[in-house]
Amino acid sequence: MDKRVIVHVDMDAFFASVEQMDNPKLKGKPVIVGGSGPRGVVSTCSYEARKYGIHSAMPMYIARQLCPEGIFLPVRYERYVEVSKIVFQILHSITYRVEAVSIDEAYLDISDIDDDPVHIVNIIKKRVKESTGLTLSAGISYNKFLAKTASEWNKPNGLMVITEDMVPEILKPLPISKVYGIGSKSIERLNQIGIYTIEQLLRLTEEEMIYFFGKYGIEIYNRIRGHDDRPVCTQRETKSIGRETTFDSDTMDKTFLKKVLSEFAEELANSLMEESLYAKTVTVKIKNQDFKTHTKSKTLKRYINSYKEIKEAAFEILDDYNIEQGIRLIGLSLSNFTDVRYEQLSIFEWEKQLKSQKEETNGTKE
Ligand SMILES: [Mg+2]
């Protein structure tokens, strides 16, 4: 198997950075975003706040003790979602092979893009900076575990590449907490027997790994040796939204049926808009006089969310039906969703764009 090229991107101190962006007075100050109730914990804090020893998941009251002069803000989740969407649009303009891990973190599989991965990542960083004012850290490697390890390497605004010949040497000095998937209980147990670094963890046999981590031990055993076959999963969980109606009497009137589908398309477009979703598959269901249900679907080349696009696809499907026997029920549904729009940029167009950008940058250097 050819080596994959996997990128992990992670926004730097995301919630706190958005707050500093929206209110420039907060720049350079210790900003702590988190729950305001008595049990509230820190969601994210700015790098300035980290100097006081504050970190995510810490109770807010402790953060207040550590940094009384800090700026404590509530979580404005909707605002972060807005910014996140812009970031994901940029990622999807590079490739559709994007796996969202969280609101500010994603894996990209760019194996099929014939360009220097560092160059591609620099374009992502530049575009994100231009469109949101924010920085991210990225890691490039040949699997997910190493890409994630690389993105954490020199935050903020980092970029790190881990190549095959660097493994496992580069991992050896890292504390075992850096291995994604090792929980705090396992870390405690390993510390008790004097294992603190990956170098020490590498000395354990597969059997010992299973003893400490259960079934998951084999995976950790492999990961710290640079083996991790997990694919970048682009698909969101499948679900569908739809509308249908039953008529008082059977109809063969296509103009009327199209009017009904248009109304459904409008309602569904509104639902997509509300949930910030885009759909790829359109299905029209009909029930005949004989009570038989028929469905026909159309999976489009790209994700859509507009009334017009949904309506057009629905009409095309309706045209495929023989409605001469009379229709007693008609339904329209959408499925195969994504939460961000994949800019319809083919790899070819993308490469063209990369080349022209390259020429630009080369030109300015001279
Ligand atoms: Mg982050």
How far apart are alpha carbons 231 and 112 in whole angstroms?
Answer: 14
Q: How far is the CA of 326 from the centre of ligand 1 (A)?
A: 56
Question: What is the CATH number for 193?
Answer: 1.10.150.20
* Catalytic-residue membership of 105: yes
Q: How far is the CA of 100 from the centre of ligand 1 (A)?
A: 12
105, 188, 275, 309: which is the annotated catalytic residue?
105
Q: How far is the CA of 169 from the centre of ligand 1 (A)?
A: 26
Question: What is the CATH number for 23?
Answer: 3.40.1170.60
Residue 332 near residue 314 (C-beta atoms within 8 A): yes
Burial label, 52 (beta-carbon count in 10 A; 0-12, 13-18, 19+) = middle
Q: How far is the CA of 103 from the centre of ligand 1 (A)?
A: 8
Q: Look at the pTM and tell me if it is higher than 0.85.
A: no
In a domain, 134, yes or no: no
In a domain, 155, yes or no: no
Of 77, 92, 122, the one marking the end of a domain is 77
How far apart are alpha carbons 165 and 167 in whole angstroms?
Answer: 6
In a domain, 181, yes or no: yes
Q: How far is the CA of 56 from the centre of ligand 1 (A)?
A: 11
Question: What is the CATH number for 250?
Answer: 3.30.1490.100
Phi-psi domain of 82 (left: phi exceeds 0; alpha: psi -120 through 50; beta: other): alpha
**By residue range, what is the domain housing residue 173?**
169-223
Q: Are residues 269 and 190 in the same domain?
A: no
Q: How far is the CA of 334 from the centre of ligand 1 (A)?
A: 32
Q: pLDDT tens for the chain, 366 residues: list them.
A: 468 999 999 999 999 999 999 999 999 999 999 988 778 889 999 999 999 999 988 999 999 999 999 999 998 988 998 899 899 989 988 888 899 888 899 999 999 888 899 999 999 999 999 999 999 999 999 999 999 999 999 999 999 999 999 999 999 999 999 887 788 888 898 999 999 999 999 999 999 999 888 888 999 999 999 999 999 987 555 478 899 998 988 899 999 999 999 999 998 998 887 666 788 899 999 998 777 889 999 999 888 888 999 999 999 999 999 888 889 999 999 988 775 443 333 344 444 554 554 454 444 333
Q: How far is the CA of 290 from the centre of ligand 1 (A)?
A: 57
| Counted domains in the chain | 3
Name the E strands within the chain: 6-11, 31-34, 42-45, 71-73, 98-102, 105-109, 136-141, 159-161, 240-251, 278-288, 293-304, 327-338
In a domain, 293, yes or no: yes
Q: How far is the CA of 152 from the centre of ligand 1 (A)?
A: 9
Q: Are residues 326 and 256 in the same domain?
A: yes
Q: How far is the CA of 213 from the centre of ligand 1 (A)?
A: 26
